[in-house]
C-alpha cells in the first residue's frame, strides 16, 4: 500500500554570484515549497534537504543577503551544490 506523499513543508532558494553574500531569492511553505523544488529540478539546480537551516533562512527577507552567522552553514550547502554539478568555485582575485 502506498501512502500519499506529504507536501514539502518549507523550501528556500538562494542565489550566489561568487562575490557577494548569498541572497534569499524564493521561499515558501507547502504548495509554494513544492513549486520552488519543481522549478529547481526543471532548471538542474542542485537541492539539499536541511530543515533546520531552511527554517532559519526563511526568516531572511526576500532579496536580502544571508546574515554573517549563517555563512559557514550556507557555504557547506554551496560546496555541496558545486560538487554535484561538477563545478569548481572561483578563487578570490583569479579574474575568472
**Which top CATH class is 10-85?**
alpha beta
pTM to 2 decimal places:
0.78
- Between 96 and 9, the higher pLDDT residue: 9
pLDDT in tens, 33-83: 999 999 999 999 889 999 999 999 999 999 999 999 999 999 999 888 888
Q: Where are the alpha helices (DSSP H) in the chain?
A: 31-42, 51-57, 71-85
The Cα–Cα gap between 35 and 5 comes to: 15
pLDDT in tens, 85-95: 776 656 555 55
For the purposes of burial, counting CB atoms within 10 Å of the CB of 29, is it exposed (0-12), middle (13-18) or buried (19 or more)? middle
Q: In this structure, are residues 36 and 47 in contact, taking their beta carbons and an 8 Å threshold? A: no
Sign of the alpha-carbon dihedral angle for 17, 38, 48, 54: positive
Amino acid at each position: 500500500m502506498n501512502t500519499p506523499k506529504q507536501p514539502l513543508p518549507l523550501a528556500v532558494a538562494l542565489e550566489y554570484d561568487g562575490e557577494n553574500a548569498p541572497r534569499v531569492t524564493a521561499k515558501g511553505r507547502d504548495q509554494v515549497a513544492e513549486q520552488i523544488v519543481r522549478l529547481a529540478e526543471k532548471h538542474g539546480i542542485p537541492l539539499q534537504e536541511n530543515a533546520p537551516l531552511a527554517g532559519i533562512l526563511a526568516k531572511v527577507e526576500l532579496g536580502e543577503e544571508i546574515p554573517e552567522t549563517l555563512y559557514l552553514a550556507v557555504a557547506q550547502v554551496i560546496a555541496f551544490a558545486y560538487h554535484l554539478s561538477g563545478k569548481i568555485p572561483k578563487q578570490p582575485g583569479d579574474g575568472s
